[in-house]
Amino acid sequence: MNKQDLVCIVCPMGCRMTIEKDESSQLGYKVTGNTCKRGVTYAVKEVTNPTRVICTTVIIEDFYLKRLPVRTDGEVPKNMIFDCMMEINKTKVKTPINVGDIIVEDLLGTGVNVIASRSAK
């Protein structure tokens, strides 16, 4: 990687940043365009170990809505998102569900759970 442009997704400011290798810096990278230091953390993580929280829905069988909103309670490696979605898509739930209930435990061995984003009673 010589130089990479990216947009920080940590807050709604969406700073446009550039990251490049810099052996002289403590992190090994030089980041420009960030407004705060969280941008540096995000940029380095994005080029070394990118991860994401997954927000999606699962089928709910006995509720007036056909799908229940869910999300992961932590970040999963970006290269596992497709496999995680395939696993989540197999899931069907029934009421009652409380917000925060675990819908899928330890998603594909990531240590991250899929939890309900709303209640359904």
Q: How far apart are CA 81 and CA 47, in angstroms?
A: 17
Whose Cβ is closer to ligand SF4: residue 10's or residue 59's?
Answer: 10
Q: How far apart are CA 110 and CA 74, in angstroms?
A: 9
Q: How far apart are CA 51 and CA 77, in angstroms?
A: 4
Q: How far apart are CA 4 and CA 71, in angstroms?
A: 29
By CB under 6 A, tell whether 10 contacts ligand SF4.
yes
Q: How far is the CB of 6 from ligand SF4 (least distance, A)?
A: 10
As given in the structure block, the two tokens for residue 108 are 């594909």
The answer to whether residues 6 and 43 touch, using CB atoms and an 8 Å cutoff, is yes
**Binding-site string for ligand SF4 from residue 19 to residue 38, where x marks contact by CB under 6 A and - marks none:** ---------------xxx-x
- Cβ atoms within 10 A of the Cβ of 78, count? 12
Q: How far is the CB of 54 from ligand SF4 (least distance, A)?
A: 21
Q: Which of residues 39-98 bind ligand SF4 (CB under 6 A)?
A: 39
**Residues in binding contact with ligand SF4, number by CB under 6 A:** 11
By CB under 6 A, tell whether 14 contacts ligand SF4.
yes
Give the binding site for ligand SF4 (CB under 6 A): 8, 10-11, 13-15, 34-36, 38-39
